[in-house]
Structure 1
């Protein structure tokens, strides 16, 4: 059970949530999007939102700014969150512009706002759960897309609810967060996506 709960934290790591949202969007969008464009977007986003943060983490570790991938203290979180905010700004500027895919633009804008809120909380010594933030924000995006495209994804949403519960259980079991930090992570993930829905739904 201990290994299972640890693996859940790695499988549903917040770094891969943005890419999951993009894959889901392209799989459900009724619009015709050339396959070459889809592949180019996915590769670009994988490099920027997954590979680059990993490389920057090792750089920060080498410089002594972080100790482990768990980012156990609020002080360790500041630089990774700051760098992630910069990466999200780059994504919004170059990869998912409003003219190309307005849904993805506001999805990533919501991610940027969530990261900025977490950065502010870290500065004030509060550690919101990034795992719950990522999966709950993704779930909210799925809900919005199901309404926007008029598609039935009840099975997916039920699975997402189970995953959120599993991730929360995992974080509590590993003593990475307390219940308040999990709840805060949930709201910081959901609220920006919920507010921004008004601009594209």
Structure 2
């Protein structure tokens, strides 16, 4: 009985972690880190921060969420968790378009290069993942987690700022996310680890090349 309760609790916890750190929300967490880290980016006007945050929220979180019922009604997806590799194709293509629109709008703003790079790199990563998905069911949760860790490392390097607390937090969070995906049997270890290193590597390489 105790084992069943413990198993039920850990499964519920894994689902909760997967929702709280859903890939759709990661760009907002990324902006949160950039805006609160002890660098000059944290001193940007509050109005600019709100505009950027709202733009990313509407384009990359709100619109995708309200489109999910439409996809389900059209039988493009069977569940809102979108676990199947084939079912992820249409939502990922939709995300690629929305991220591209966000990048286009951001490009017109006179904001620090690091912020533009973050948005552009995120867009490139979504398109990259969309292409990978046709051949391999890579963990998108892990990709987003890896990318977020890369942002902290890059922010620390580019701004010459010690962000140990942020890095420890993102590493521990990554551990929770990856463990949760494995606990729920959503992915195997290979799909999870390849996702993490893909997110970290692509984000890092993109920043270094621009």
- The alignment's TM-score, normalised by the length of structure 1, stands at 0.92
Cα distance in 1, alignment partners of residues 161 and 108 from structure 2: 24
Question: Could you say which residue in structure 2 is the equivalent of 1:94?
Answer: 105
Counterpart secondary structure, 2:40: coil
Question: Could you say which residue in structure 1 is the equivalent of 2:168?
Answer: 158
Question: Could you say which residue in structure 1 is the equivalent of 2:159?
Answer: 149
Question: Could you say which residue in structure 1 is the equivalent of 2:19?
Answer: 10
- The structure number with the bigger radius of gyration is 2
Structure 1 residue ranges without an equivalent (≥5): none
Question: Could you say which residue in structure 1 is the equivalent of 2:7?
Answer: none
* Cα offsets for 1:17-39 (capped at 9, x unmatched): 11111122122341542221211
Cα distance in 1, alignment partners of residues 88 and 22 from structure 2: 15
* Cα offsets for 1:92-115 (capped at 9, x unmatched): 100355742311222222222222
The answer (yes or no) to whether the contact 2:139–2:187 under 8 Å persists in 1 is yes
Aligned pairs for 1:147-186 within 5 A: 147-186=157-196
Counterpart secondary structure, 1:100: coil
Question: Could you say which residue in structure 1 is the equivalent of 2:3?
Answer: none
* Cα offsets for 1:82-141 (capped at 9, x unmatched): 0111111111100355742311222222222222222122222x1100101111101101
Equivalent residue for 1:140, pick from 150, 157, 160: 150
2:91 paired with 1:80: yes
2:10 paired with 1:22: no
2:129 paired with 1:118: yes
Aligned pairs for 1:34-53 within 5 A: 34-53=45-64
The answer (yes or no) to whether the contact 1:45–1:91 under 8 Å persists in 2 is yes
Task: Please state how far the C-alpha of 1:159 moved relative to its aligned partner.
Answer: 1.6
Cα distance in 1, alignment partners of residues 51 and 144 from structure 2: 23
* Cα offsets for 1:61-88 (capped at 9, x unmatched): 1111011122121110101110111111
The answer (yes or no) to whether the contact 2:150–2:200 under 8 Å persists in 1 is yes
